[in-house]
Amino acid sequence: MGIGKRQLVLAALVVALGAAVYLNWQFSGDNQLLATNTVTSQKELGEAQLVNASVPSSSAPAESSNAPVSSEAGQGADANDYFTQARLSRQKARDEAVELLEKVLQDAEQSDAAKKDAVAQAAVVAQNVLKESNIENLIKAKGFEDCVVFLQNGECNVVVKVKESDPNNAVVIKDIVAGQAGVTYDKIKIVENQ
C-alpha cells in the first residue's frame, strides 16, 4: 500500500495552511483587528458613521432621529422604552403595508400585473422582516445590549444601545449588516443610544 495522490495533496494543503497561519501570525504581531484600520479621519467610501444619541440632562430637548418612533418614546422615557416603541412603530407600519397589499390582491377589478406587483412587494416585506430579525440577533450576540434595525430601499439604519462608544462597534455592525442583507457599507447608518 503506497501513498496515494489524495493523501499527498491533502498533506500539501495542510502544510500550506500551516505556513499561511504562521506567516499571518508573524506579520501581524500585536496588531489588533485589521478592519479597525479602515476607520480613519479622512473621508473614504464606507467610512464608519457613528452618531451619539445620548442627550445630557442639562441640554435642550433631543432632536428627532431618522428612525420612526412614536412621540411617547422621546418624552422622558428610558432607552428600553425607545427600542420597544421603535419595534412597535415598525410593526404597525408593516401591518398597514401588508393590509394594503392584501386589499389589492382581493380586489377583483385589479389587473394581473397589479396583483403580481403586490405579491412581489409582500415578498420584499417578508424578506426584510427576516433580515432585520437576523441582524438584530447577531448584533445582540456580539455583546450589544439592544438594537433595532430598519431595512428599506437598499439602505439600513441601525440604532444600537451601548455602554460606551467604540470605533470598532461600527465595523462589527457594518460587517453583520453587509453579510446578512447585502447592503453596502456606505448605505448603513449607525446611531448609538447610551
Question: What is the percentage of the chain residues whose pLDDT exceeds 70?
Answer: 69
Q: Within this chain, do residues 75 and 6 fall inside the same structural domain, yes or no?
A: no
pTM recorded for the entire structure: 0.55
Q: Within this chain, do residues 174 and 152 fall inside the same structural domain, yes or no?
A: yes
CA–CA dist 194, 163 (Å, integer)? 6
Q: Within this chain, do residues 118 and 166 fall inside the same structural domain, yes or no?
A: yes
| Phi and psi at residue 54, to the nearest 5° | -80, 145
Domains: count for the chain: 2
Range of the domain at 5: 1-31
pLDDT per residue over 47-97, tens digit each? 555 554 444 443 333 333 344 444 343 444 566 688 888 888 888 888 888
Q: How far is CA 172 from CA 29, 51, 110, 141, 158, in A?
A: 22, 15, 45, 11, 12
Q: Within this chain, do residues 15 and 58 fall inside the same structural domain, yes or no?
A: no
